[in-house]
Amino acid sequence: MSSEPRDQETHGAGDERPIPSDAELSEMSREELVQLGGRLDGVEIVEYHDPWPVKGTRAEKRSERLVAMWFGLAGLSALAFLGFFIWWPWKYAPPTPGDGQDHFLYSLYTPLIGGTLGLSILAVGIGVILYTKRFIPHEVAVQQRHDGPSAEVDRKTAAAHLADAGSRSTIGRRKLIKRTAGFGAGTFGLAVGAYALGGLVRDPWGGPEGEKALTTTPWQHRQPGEKVFLRRHTGNFEEISLVRPEDLAAGGMETVYPFREEDRHDHEALVHAIKAGDAPVMLIRLRPDDAAHVVKREGQEDYNYGDYYAYTKICSHLGCPTSLFEQRTNRILCPCHQSQFDALQYAKPVFGPAARALAQLPITVDPETGYFIATGDFPEPVGPAYWERES
């Protein structure tokens, strides 16, 4: 079947009857106007099935009630949502067996408000769809469609129209405008791109620590001879709890953070010391018979204090927290990629993708106060490798 005859056919479809005059239009009924509109677009309504040809049957009433029920349910459950949202006990109550009732009521809060609001919008949707299915007449309409490209005459004229608009605008010979427009729009595009991506560009050396940002940690002494204590985190940043050698049992491990006496009343500094990504240190107390087999790294022979060894918690592979310390095997496991470090051999990697040992923090006990202090920063950068790193 060639496209040409069909094309002619569709073109001709609207011309079967001429467009009625204004006088004729005013005479036409609404039904005739609907048919005329369809015919002008090449649409013919074949069947216009009325779902309820006999009015007022019991089945029709039943359908009406069904739709009304869904809308009513939507309203009631929205009302229930408002009630639960305003009056239900939403504050946390722990599940202690004594007053478990409070916890039970609290635990229902989220499901109740979610369920009621969700049921409400679902019921509105079901009601609308049911109404459409039960009461809107199902029409069957036929519209002719044409195959292939538009007629040659349409394509030629449309192309000529566009070319004409281009040449009449005289943009072709106005080089100044063309270039400035290119400059303006192009630079604007660049600005939008910079706006979108600029926030992702960061200078790792640009912070207040300058070039030392990646090589030093908050354990770095600000002045020579400064005392940097080891503190534990009790959940309260202001509660300073320092660590003494008798605090940990053999086979114990504790995460510690730097603390300086000058920061005691500086909330910002206290929070930063605990939240800083490179600050957490695992303070490990080996069991004495294991400590007898320790192999120390060259140059780090005096970094430990007795059975106490302090290693960074930041994995040397990709910087995950390696705090899975196994006290019988003395292995430190990183949960991200299963690197394992041997706490008896300066935390050198014994399994997995990590290639460098965990950096060790030099510690000792402050003779004046009896608390642990760090005698200096880590001897090497903590965490994963970066371009400028030499080891």
Partner 1 sequence: MTTRPDPAKAGKRRFRPQRRLQRKLAGALALAMALVAAGALYAVFVPEAQEARADADPTLLREGEQIYNNTCITCHGANLEGVEDRGPSLIGIGEAAVYFQTSTGRMPMVRQEAQAPDKPPQLEPSEIDAVSAYIHEHGGGPERPEETGVDLQGDNPARGGELFRTNCTSCHHFTGRGGALSAGKYGPNLDGLDEEVIYTAMASGPQNMPKFSHRQLTEDEKKDIIAYVQSVTDGNNTPGGHPLGGYGPMPEGLIAWIVGLAGLVGVTMWIGAKR
Where on the chain is the footprint of partner 1 (CB under 8 A)? Answer: 94-98, 103, 107, 109-111, 129, 133, 138, 232-236, 244, 246-255, 321, 323-329, 331, 333, 335, 338, 340, 351
| Shortest distance in whole angstroms from residue 252 CB to partner 1 | 5
Task: Tell me the CA end-to-end span of the chain in Å, nearest whole number.
Answer: 76
| Shortest distance in whole angstroms from residue 44 CB to partner 1 | 22
- Give Cβ neighbours of residue 14 (< 8 Å, ≥ 6 apart): 39, 40, 41, 42
| Shortest distance in whole angstroms from residue 138 CB to partner 1 | 8
d(CA 85, CA 96): 25
| Shortest distance in whole angstroms from residue 68 CB to partner 1 | 18
Q: Which two tokens stand for residue 309?
A: 């060894």
232 vs 348, which CB is nearer to partner 1? Answer: 232
The DSSP output letter for 66 is H
For residue 352, what are the CA distances in angstroms to 281, 312, 318, 333?
Answer: 21, 18, 12, 10
- Determine how many CB atoms are found less than 10 A away from the CB of residue 343: 23
| Shortest distance in whole angstroms from residue 296 CB to partner 1 | 22
* DSSP per-residue letters across 105-139: HHHHHHHHHHHHHHHHHHHHHHHHHHHHHHHS-EE
254 vs 377, which CB is nearer to partner 1? Answer: 254
* DSSP per-residue letters across 228-292: EEEEE--S-TT--EE--TTSSPTTEEEEEEEE-GGGTT-HHHHHHHHH-TT--EEEEE--HHHHT
Q: Give yes or no for a contact between 289 and 256, defined as CB atoms under 8 angstroms apart.
A: no
| Shortest distance in whole angstroms from residue 95 CB to partner 1 | 5
| Shortest distance in whole angstroms from residue 246 CB to partner 1 | 6
111 vs 189, which CB is nearer to partner 1? Answer: 111
Amino acid at residue number 185: A
d(CA 321, CA 329): 19
| Shortest distance in whole angstroms from residue 247 CB to partner 1 | 4
221 vs 272, which CB is nearer to partner 1? Answer: 272
97 vs 299, which CB is nearer to partner 1? Answer: 97
129 vs 142, which CB is nearer to partner 1? Answer: 129
d(CA 108, CA 88): 9
6 vs 348, which CB is nearer to partner 1? Answer: 348
Q: Give yes or no for a contact between 275 and 244, defined as CB atoms under 8 angstroms apart.
A: no
Q: Is 363 exposed, middle or buried (0-12, 13-18, 19+ CB in 10 A)?
A: buried
315 vs 382, which CB is nearer to partner 1? Answer: 315
128 vs 269, which CB is nearer to partner 1? Answer: 128
| Shortest distance in whole angstroms from residue 376 CB to partner 1 | 25
Amino acid at residue number 139: E
60 vs 247, which CB is nearer to partner 1? Answer: 247
| Shortest distance in whole angstroms from residue 341 CB to partner 1 | 10
Q: What radius of gyration, in Å, describes the C-alpha atoms of the chain?
A: 39
